[in-house]
Amino acid sequence: MVTWKPHGGLPPITDQEWADEFELYKKFPEFQQRQHMTVDDFKQIYFWEYSHRMLGRTVGLAFAAPLAYFLIRKRIPKEMYGRLAALFGLGAFQLGLAFTTCGLLSWTAFGVFSPPLESSFKLVTDTITPAGLVKICQVRKWLHRSATVLAVTIASGAFVAGIDAGMAYNTFPKMGDQWLPDGMFDMEVLCISLKFGLVCFLMDNINDGRITGAYALARNPNVWWQIPAPAKTALNLNVAAAAGQVMLGISTLLNCVPIPLAIAHQTGALVLMTSTVYTLHTLRFARPLGYKWASSIKQASKP
């Protein structure tokens, strides 16, 4: 789908409508890499994109309709207005429109004829001591930063996949026989791939280091016993997901990026992000002023 309409619209129905839509698609750089594609092939990829857009609109409606109802009934606490507005804003932020528009671009500035950007490019327990809470706050802070780095890593990984940067060198940890290959800073097609690959590699290392550091801090004997059981489970799963993602990434690289391993590696990124966000959720009591807030609630609930 190379056009974007707020109301969605119906898919092509007649043969002429399909032919017209296919002619529009031929104007995109992506078609130049798939010139063997027929109208029947185009219908298959169109179906998936159309389903994706309709699902997005359904999710938006499922969020907006109850939100409007509860706002009208004044059943939403005022302290939640900001969070709900942020969520609504993220949903309303039309990345799909931007991707559709940017799909007509190619990286001519770098001398690279690449696919469209869319293909390149979601209780404090009574046993916790104040000192222990300070340490747990540090764990949460590390994980919070790790989630930010992970988001950037996933984005850079999309570029790596989009320009086949993983095919440049299939060795680890060096690139061939060198840590930094010759011509790394030359503006050539191969070097662009290497740069994106190196950025993704460095971000992976930073992220894994943060997760490992947070886990090591949490495993401090004076801290671990004070962490609630759900948070312990989440921390264990998070570090396991990080280790699994590292092994998947190395295996994918050494085996010349086979499709099954590449898909598993991308899925691993989603699992790692999900586990990191869930871990942050289980440690939400350690947010700034969290302990003070929880203590006030408990004090107020006493007879």
User: HSE (CB half, 13 Å, CA atoms) of 134?
Assistant: 4
With H, G, I as helix, E, B as strand and everything else as coil, classify residue 110.
helix
Task: Please report the pLDDT score of residue 176 as a whole number.
Answer: 60
**Tokens in use for 47?**
């179906």
Determine the Cα–Cα distance for residues 171 and 254; give it in Å rounded to an integer.
Answer: 6
Query: Looking at this protein, which amino acid is placed at residue 76?
Result: I
The pLDDT profile of the chain, 303 residues, written as one tens digit per residue, is 666 666 556 788 888 988 888 888 887 766 766 778 888 888 888 888 888 888 888 888 898 899 999 999 988 888 888 888 888 877 766 555 555 554 444 433 333 333 443 333 334 434 455 566 677 777 888 788 888 878 877 777 766 666 565 565 666 666 666 556 555 555 444 444 444 455 555 455 555 656 766 777 677 777 777 788 888 898 899 889 888 888 888 888 788 778 888 889 889 888 988 988 998 888 877 765 554 544 444 454 455
Phi, psi of 178 (to 5 degrees): -130, 155
Burial 2-14 (b: 16+ CB within 10 A, else e): beeeeeeeebbee
Task: Please report the pLDDT score of residue 55 as a whole number.
Answer: 84
For 106-151, what is each residue's pLDDT tens digit? 433 333 333 443 333 334 434 455 566 677 777 888 788 888 878 8
Task: Please report the pLDDT score of residue 66 as a whole number.
Answer: 92
Q: Provide the H-helix boundaries in the chain.
A: 15-25, 29-32, 39-72, 81-92, 95-102, 117-120, 130-162, 189-218, 221-224, 229-254, 259-282, 290-301
Determine the Cα–Cα distance for residues 239 and 209; give it in Å rounded to an integer.
Answer: 10
Distances (CA, A) of 188 to 60, 108, 185: 43, 12, 9
Query: Looking at this protein, which amino acid is placed at residue 130?
Result: P
pTM: 0.49
Task: Please report the pLDDT score of residue 257 as a whole number.
Answer: 75
